[in-house]
Amino acid sequence: MIVCSCNIVSRKDIEQVVIDFLNEDQWQLITPGKVFQAVSARGKCCGCFPGVIDIIVETTERYHELMQSPAPKVVDLLNRIADQRVRIEKAKKRARLKVAV
C-alpha cells in the first residue's frame, strides 16, 4: 500500500526502515524525517506524516513485543512518539491558518 504518493513510499518500505533502525538502537526515537531520509526521499506536502507515525508506532510495538522488551521503557518510547505526532499536527494547523490569512 502506498503511504506517500508524493514520493511513492509504501507501508512495507516504512516498516523495513523502522525495523532496520530498531535493530541498530531499539530505544531511538524514529521520526518521519529519519524514515524519509533512509528511503532517499523528503517530506513534500507532509500529509502522510500522521500515517507514517502510526506505522512507526505499530512497527515499534510489534518489534518490542517480539523482543520481550521491558514494558515501562516501551511505554516511554511510545509516549515520545505520540508527542511527536501532536507537534506535527499543531504545525500543520498553524500552516493551514497562515495560508488562509
At 29 the pLDDT is 86
38: its cell numbers: 533512509
Most confidently predicted of 6-20, 22-36, 58-72: 6-20
The model's pLDDT over 42-90, given as tens digits with 9 standing for 90+, comes to 888 888 998 999 999 899 989 988 988 877 677 777 777 778 878 888 8
> What number is the average pLDDT over the span 94-98?
83
> What number is the average pLDDT over the span 90-96?
84
In which residue are the cell numbers 513485543 written? 65
In which residue are the cell numbers 530498531 written? 22
| H helix or E strand, kind and range, residue 9 | strand 9-10
94: its cell numbers: 498553524
Please give the Cα distance from 90 to 21 (Å, whole number): 26
Share above pLDDT 90 across residues of the chain, in percent, rounded to a whole number: 49
Q: Read off the pLDDT band of 11 (50, 70, 90).
A: very high
pTM across the whole model? 0.74
- Backbone CA torsion sign across 73, 78, 79, 80: positive
At 51 the pLDDT is 92
